[in-house]
Amino acid sequence: QVQLQQWGAGLLKPSETLSLTCTVYGGSFSGFYWGWIRQPPGKGLEWIGEINHSGNTNYNPSLKSRVTISADTSKHQFSLKLSSVTAADTALYYCARGDWVFWGQGTLVTVSS
Quick one: which of 19, 90, 103, 110 contacts another protein (CB under 8 A)? 103
Count of positions on this chain that bind another protein (CB under 8 A): 19
Bridge-based pairing state of the strands 67-72 and 57-59 = unpaired
Residue 68 binds to another protein (criterion: CB under 8 A): no
Residue 41 binds to another protein (criterion: CB under 8 A): no
Of 59, 81, 73, nearest to 23 (Cα)?
Answer: 73
**CB of 59 vs another protein, minimal distance in Å:** 8
| Displacement of CA 18 from its chain's centroid (Å) | 10
Whole-angstrom Cα distance, residue 14 to residue 78? 24
Whole-angstrom Cα distance, residue 103 to residue 113? 30
Residue 8 binds to another protein (criterion: CB under 8 A): no
- Could you tell me which stretch among 14-22, 23-31, 54-62, 66-74 binds another protein (CB under 8 A)? 54-62
Residue 73 binds to another protein (criterion: CB under 8 A): no
Of 49, 60, 54, nearest to 94 (Cα)?
Answer: 49
**Shorter beta-carbon distance to another protein: residue 100 or 112:** 100
Whole-angstrom Cα distance, residue 43 to residue 4? 23
Residue 60 binds to another protein (criterion: CB under 8 A): yes
Quick one: which of 8, 46, 66, 90 contacts another protein (CB under 8 A)? 46
